[in-house]
Chains A and B, each alone.
Chain A
């Protein structure tokens, strides 16, 4: 199957940069330690005012640093804008395979690589230093995996949406920058959504960004109801169909930039 082949090739391609990525893992862990120190400073003496204890926040930060590499740090626009700029997209769209799955399967290969060579080592660093949460029910592992897969699906679709929009805008670097910021802030990476001001907190819980970091982490920490999986699945479907519709529109729009 062609998509499985693309997935494996993309995985193998990333293997070439293992060493440099391992250095970067240490940097990710440093960020995690800084976040943990901030929350320890903030919560010391005030744990009774917070729904989460210092230990909860330590686990939260550890888990969110791991998941970032599978759901947030994806390739900008999944690289679609590069093809738009140099005209290669006209050939890619003409291929007898689905353009959507052609792009997404390559990124999925990279995510699989990140899971093994980034998320896992970062998790190990935390478990050897500040500790890493171990769910008390074995079913939590299943739910966490499902939530993680949904999170990856949502994220792939958001990045695809930004990428395919380049058919109209050509330039996506600022859109990418803004979407990353939204994923960090409204995704609950540094500040769990319950700590945001009431209005923003209520709003953010319904947005797709929460499904990218916040919900998978909470499910793993056994602090969220399983119904949030439905919200994640809903967003995944909406984004999936939106992308198919936009890809069809892009097919009509493609023009050769007279090279």
Chain B
């Protein structure tokens, strides 16, 4: 029932977006290009110095691609969660509370930011190119089979982190500054292998902001660096746990909502 409603609301949102086709195509392409330049910078460093703490360009490319696809998929599906502070500042959250559907479902179905798919495509291209090169030295069969699971887990973890950040808005109203802590900086960090970071940063990325499980942990095993088959289970467990905690936190936070009274 909820899913049916979600699909109906989302398709309405897509139809309204498609009224501005040129703008859509242009924004998708430029988003993809911008992210590509981002990767070229990383490639420039590794091209010159060959590797970073035992990871070569193509191995880092896989990490980068996974982190990039996870974040882009979240930005595609949940733009209203990302922009949640406007509901607090402008008091728009009231109108979501009086409807007979959960506010979270309403927020998710309200809008899809399809231009972000450009970022996901770019990430997929980088994964594909990197896998091609890695396949010369490693067997990548298991990696290919398991990649969809890794991407879904990455998406769930990034969504959960974003939901926790959005929930903070019930107390602080504004969340833009927190997003740099919980999303932008950690996802940038996750483009590179975790073993380059000092202990305190590693601790954060393996616990409170678990971006290490999005790509680094499963790739340790899949690229024969270290670890065992259980490393493949960890992203799934972390994703489920974090999703559960994020939902619980959201449901707890919502009780503290008070309108702006405007």
Contacts and interface: CB of A to CB of B under 8 A. Distances in A.
Interface of A: 20, 23-24, 26-28, 30-31, 33-34, 37-38, 40-44, 46, 49-50, 171, 174, 177-178, 181-182, 185, 190-191, 195-197, 200
A31 B197 CA distance: 12
A28 B181 CA distance: 9
Given A41-B196, A185-B37, A185-B41, A178 B30 contact: yes
Given A27-B181, A34-B188, A37-B201, A195 B196 contact: no
Interface in B134-193: 174, 177-178, 180-181, 184-185, 188-189, 192-193
Contacts of B31: 177
Contacts, number: 83
A38 B196 CA distance: 6
Contacts of B26: 174
B114 to A, nearest CB: 15
A24 B37 CA distance: 25
B52 A197 contact: no
A38 B52 contact: yes
Contact of A177 (B34, B52, B53): B34
Contacts of A46: 49
Contact of B185 (A30, A38, A181, A182): A30
A38 B192 contact: yes
A162 to B, nearest CB: 14
Nearest to A49: B49
Of all A-B residue pairs in the complex, the 4 with the closest CB atoms, nearest first, are A41-B196, A27-B180, A24-B177, A23-B177
Interface range for B: 35 or more
A197 B41 CA distance: 10
Interface in B19-72: 23, 26-27, 30-31, 33-34, 37-38, 40-41, 44-49, 52-53
A181 B36 CA distance: 10
B198 interface: yes
Contact of A191 (B41, B177, B181, B195): B41
A177 B41 contact: no
A38 B44 CA distance: 13
B185 A34 contact: yes
Nearest to A22: B177
14 contacts: A27-B177, A31-B188, A34-B189, A34-B201, A38-B192, A41-B53, A42-B45, A42-B52, A174-B26, A177-B31, A178-B33, A181-B38, A196-B44, A200-B44
A28 B185 CA distance: 9
A185 B41 CA distance: 7
Contacts of B195: 41
A197 B45 CA distance: 9
Interface string B92-129: 00000000000000000000000000000000000000
Nearest to A189: B41
A20 B177 contact: yes
B53 A174 contact: no
A39 B94 CA distance: 47
Contact of A30 (B41, B181, B192, B196): B181
A138 B260 CA distance: 53
A180 to B, nearest CB: 8
A178 B37 CA distance: 10
B37 to A, nearest CB: 5
Nearest to A28: B180
